Amino acid sequence: MLIFFSDNPVEILNECIARSNVKQIVIEKSDGETIGHIEQLNEISKEVEIHIL
């Protein structure tokens, strides 16, 4: 499990996906901004399953 804190979470997650063999991401749904980040991740990383809690 990795936990990230960043002003640009999509960039951090994309770097992690590129470095590692990431297959799934679990994200806590907190607000509308989170939904925007999830949409960006879906566009960039179609092979990664994204789970929202």
pLDDT for residue 21: 83
**pLDDT for res 9:** 81
Q: Over the stretch 1-53, which tens digit does the pLDDT of each residue have?
A: 778 788 888 888 888 888 888 888 887 776 677 778 778 887 877 788 888 88
- pLDDT at 1 (0 to 100): 77
Distance CA 45, CA 47 (A): 6
Domain spans of the chain, in order of start? 9-52
**pTM for the complete prediction?**
0.60
